[in-house]
Amino acid sequence: MEAVEGTENVESGGGMKDLEGKYLTFTLASEEYGVGILQVREIIGVMEITAVPQTASYIKGVINLRGQIIPILELRIKFGMEPQGYDDRTCIIVVEVQQETGSVQVGMLVDSVSEVLNILEEQIEPPPVFGSTTLDTDNILGMAKIKGKVKILLNIDKVIGKEGVLSQFEEMAGQKASG
């Protein structure tokens, strides 16, 4: 019943119009993902990453990017995929997310960057309903149907922002300040 209601919302423009726009697409394993281009600051090759102790396994550490310390996370591990060695197509997408204290830049390790796509409202459907409360689809803005393929549009604020990875860094900073 919920899936039918969700379909009606898409047809009547229930929020999918807000998702229309340009997305940077990238691959993890055999899946393609997209992030809103306005949140992307730059794309860089893999560089030396300094490990940070006592962080989640998907937090690879930090890099020094032109004097700014940027936390790096590996999306493959964050999304429960098998880790893979880096190659010449592996790169870091630096995105900017909004926090209560201002904007923060975070790097995401991905297998490869594909292209920038202009995705229209009619190409986007809401995240699927799997009928299970154990499956979290909050990280997904929608599913884009492009040339017979599906691209998963990520909600970077949920993946990385105050409800995601950055909350762990804030907790670490709070522990160091109090200790």
Cβ contact 116:69 at 8 Å: no
Give the pLDDT score at 162. 58
Q: How far apart are CA 49 and CA 26, in angstroms?
A: 21
Dihedral over Cα of 93, 110, 141, 106: its sign: negative
What is the residue extent of each domain of the chain? 2-178
The answer to whether 176 and 159 have CB atoms below 8 angstroms apart is: no
Model pLDDT, residue 91: 96
Q: Is the dihedral of CA 43, 46, 52, 55 positive or negative?
A: positive
- Read off the pLDDT of each residue in 134-155 and give the average, rounded to a whole number: 86
- Is the pTM here over 0.85, yes or no? no
Find the length of the chain.
179
Residue 47 CB-density burial (10 A; 0-12 exposed, 13-18 middle, 19+ buried)? exposed
Q: For residue range 52-87, what is the model confidence (pLDDT) as tens digits?
A: 998 888 999 999 999 999 999 999 998 889 988 999
Q: Does residue 95 surpass a pLDDT of 70? A: yes
3-state secondary structure of 75: helix
Q: Which residue has the higher pLDDT, 8 or 134?
A: 134
In CATH, what is the architecture of 2-178?
Answer: Beta Barrel (2.40)
Cα–Cα dist 32/26, whole Å:
6
How many beta carbons lie within 10 A of that of residue 123, not counting itself? Answer: 18
Give the pLDDT score at 18: 85
